[in-house]
Amino acid sequence: MKYLKNILKRTPQNSPLWGAAQVQNSAGGYSFTVTGWTRLNRFLILGSEGGSYYATEAKLTRENAKAVEACILEDGLRVVKTIVEISDAGRAPKNDPALFALAMCAAYGDEATRKAAFQALPKVARIGTHLFHFAEYVDGMRGWGRGLRSAVGAWYSQKESIALANQVTKYVQRDGWSHRDLLRLAHVKTDDTARNALYKLVVDGWEDLPESEPEDEALRLMWATERLKRATSEAEAAQIVAEYRLPMEVVPSGLRGKKVWEAVLPHAGLTFLIRNLGNLSKSGILQEGAWNEIREVTNRLADANALKKARIHPIQVLSALCTYQSGHGARGGGEWKVVPQIVDALNVAFYRAFGNVAPTELRWVLGLDVSGSMGGGTIAGIPGLTPRLGSMAMAMVNYRVERDSQIVAFSDEMVPVRLSKTQSLEEAIHQTNQIPFGRTDCALPMLWAMKNRVEADVFVIYTDSETWYGDIHPVQALREYRQKMGVPAKLVVVGMVSNGFTIADPQDGGMMDVVGFDTSAPNIIGEFALGNV
Ligand code: CA
């Protein structure tokens, strides 16, 4: 009997748990599988861009498409609802997976699902570029029937004229699609003269540019943009940009000098600002001692409400931080002198972009999987942002707000991490980069806590769940921990790769899966730890 008990309590990770629905993961070990719905969330938030350690981008995209399709067959309306929820709240770093999944709903859903997908289009495709991506995805999946054409038409006709003029000037074409193509395809018509003039301008452009500005606000924007295109000096361009508050996107690239950057800055959107901090430094606007400009930019980066409103995702901030801090652009974008206040402001903005994360006053062990596979692939296609580095950034969100919280790292052994709560993201990430790669044993954080008598209410493990090396499964280690320590500890698995695996037992109510870099993840983890969800 004792022998049998031991087998049931301690199973090596290269064998499945007895009586549990486990599958072999890509590393050869045995993990649980997440439900199709968790996988849908993982795809919508993490995407498949950049692939993973185990799968190329194409393979990961195919797998995810299959998972999305299965969800559509099970409950298409729920898929559309999930897409809208995640996309509209800005919970994902990139919108492409949402657009791709929405195109799938529009192509493969039943009638009600297709209808819901069409209706959701303006909510998910919020800017011109999104609409072009959607058009390209859906074009590869189905024909341009009446429902689809009128959905695209509604994208245009539902917008206020000034908003539409903004979109068509700022985002002209992408993926081989232009507004001209889509307006023609959708046969957008109206009795409103000014509106018709706007559509006609989008399709045909200006024949003769009038000397004086049009009365109508939207036509005036079109007119000013055209004048800008014909500008012959930077001074002229800067004057037009300032007067009509035009975005940098509509300025011809040869005219984007310091004067134009100065003219754009006061009315630039937050997304643009965050992406162009390096350019602002390069052009000499954000430089040491330029107190007013530095203050203007840092104030905007610190504004939690504005971050939320502009749907600034922490990953965008992190990506901007890595680029800005490096002092040079990613693809030969020139060099600049780094202004420390901007770096500090980005550190603050990263945490604020998660919204208000409330402390739980529980005891936390945050376990980072730093094994070899976590160093492969990227999160949401951000160059250089591996799941390993992303895990550290994610763990810092929780670590900073909780009083009793410790970060540990593991591969096939525990790796010491020494971080203070006030250390910057860059320092934290730098430390992670120094850790050598190893094999994977996701049971280690629980075994470590048991051995060292560390009391923990919650273990959070940031991983791809490709565990294989240990002689006991993570869930068995957790159960042993609960029993020996007399603490009903919970386990949260933060999935850092959009694969189908998890180390959490779906049958155990004390274990949960969340998706790494879901902006709502820190609060969901907290609520779960407190027993509220
Ligand atoms: Ca691994």
C-alpha 395 – ligand 1 centre gap (Å) = 18
| 62/113 Cα distance (integer angstroms) | 21
Domains of the chain, by residue range, sit at 2-33+357-529, 268-353
C-alpha 435 – ligand 1 centre gap (Å) = 14
In this structure, the number of other CB atoms found within 10 A of the CB of residue 335 comes to 12
The confidence score (pLDDT) of residue 2 equals 62
Q: Which of 532, 524, 521, 515 is nearest to 42 (CA)?
A: 515
pTM for the complete prediction? Answer: 0.92
C-alpha 467 – ligand 1 centre gap (Å) = 6
What single DSSP character describes residue 407? E
C-alpha 412 – ligand 1 centre gap (Å) = 9
C-alpha 348 – ligand 1 centre gap (Å) = 31
C-alpha 374 – ligand 1 centre gap (Å) = 6
What single DSSP character describes residue 17? P
The confidence score (pLDDT) of residue 380 equals 85
Q: Which residues are placed with Cβ below 5 angstroms of ligand 1, an ion?
A: 371, 373, 440, 466
CB of 322 within 8 A of CB of 379?
Answer: no
C-alpha 464 – ligand 1 centre gap (Å) = 7
CATH class of 2-33+357-529: alpha beta
C-alpha 384 – ligand 1 centre gap (Å) = 18
CB of 492 within 8 A of CB of 460?
Answer: yes
The confidence score (pLDDT) of residue 184 equals 94
Per-residue pLDDT of the chain (533 residues; tens, 9 = 90+): 566 666 678 999 999 998 888 999 999 999 999 999 999 999 999 999 889 999 999 999 999 999 999 999 999 999 999 999 999 999 999 999 999 999 999 999 999 999 999 999 999 999 999 999 999 999 999 999 999 999 999 999 999 999 999 999 999 999 999 999 999 999 998 999 999 999 999 999 998 899 999 999 999 999 999 999 999 999 999 999 999 999 999 999 999 999 999 999 999 999 999 999 999 999 999 999 999 999 999 999 999 999 999 999 999 999 999 889 989 886 666 899 999 999 999 999 999 999 989 999 999 999 999 999 999 998 988 888 899 999 999 999 999 999 999 999 999 999 989 899 999 998 998 899 899 999 999 999 999 999 999 999 999 999 999 999 999 999 999 999 999 999 999 999 999 999 999 999 999 999 999 999 999 999 999 999 999 87
Strands 490-495 and 458-463: parallel
Strand order, beta sheet including 501-502:
22-24, 30-33, 501-502
CB of 194 within 8 A of CB of 217?
Answer: no
C-alpha 447 – ligand 1 centre gap (Å) = 18
Rg of the chain's alpha carbons, rounded to an integer?
Answer: 26
C-alpha 466 – ligand 1 centre gap (Å) = 5
CA 62 to chain centre: 20
Query: What is the DSSP code string of 386-424?
Result: -HHHHHHHHHHHHHHH-SEEEEEEESSSEE-----TTS-
The confidence score (pLDDT) of residue 247 equals 97
Phi-psi region of 521 (alpha: psi -120 to 50; beta: other; left: phi over 0): alpha
| Residues forming a β-bridge with 47 | none
The confidence score (pLDDT) of residue 5 equals 63
C-alpha 10 – ligand 1 centre gap (Å) = 20
CA distance readout (Å), 519 to 84, 353, 354, 415: 15, 8, 5, 27
The confidence score (pLDDT) of residue 182 equals 97
